[in-house]
Amino acid sequence: MMLPLDLEDWLTEVGDQIVNKKASEGEVALTEREKLIYEIWLLDSETRNGGLSQYFANWGLQQWERCRAVATTWPLPSFLAFAKGVSDLLTGNADPYLALIARHVEADKLYYAYQTSIIKELRESVESLD
């Protein structure tokens, strides 16, 4: 399943701006809105590139927990449902990467079932502040 081009373009453009700001000014310079966009951008980019398991291989459980913590403070109901699904996939597994490699088809289907609504809710949420 492909992300609609308007959402993909938006996330790519705003994500690039935030990555550049983070690189030049440091994470402390990011606003709460930018931290949220960065976390979802990172999750989406890694997952589209190599699957949900790649996100966990490259960034680990600590980054996932950070993403969840930031995202759950915003009105993103699709992310909450997705995060519950990820938790279910990880339950009882010491290594999230290995757990998701073993269930990569299921994990990727889970993400793509929610991807469009997560990005749409993200965009609406952060643009409502403008």
pTM for this structure? 0.94
Structure tokens at 2: 């492909």
Structure tokens at 30: 């990011």
Residue type, 4: P
Q: In whole angstroms, how far apart are CA 122 and each of 27, 33, 61, 76?
A: 20, 10, 22, 7
Q: What is the domain range of residue 113? A: 5-127
Ramachandran assignment for 76, one of left (phi > 0), alpha (psi -120 to 50 degrees), beta (any other): beta
What is the number of domains present in the chain?
1
pLDDT at 79 over 80: yes
Cβ 116 vs Cβ 130: under 8 Å: no
pLDDT at 130 over 90: no
Name the residue among 12, 114, 111, 1 with its Cα closest to residue 52: 111
DSSP state of 92: T
- How does residue 1 score in pLDDT terms, banded at 50, 70 and 90? low
What share of the chain has pLDDT > 90, as a percent? 91
pLDDT at 106 over 80: yes
Question: Quick one: pLDDT at residue 127?
Answer: 87
pLDDT at 15 over 70: yes
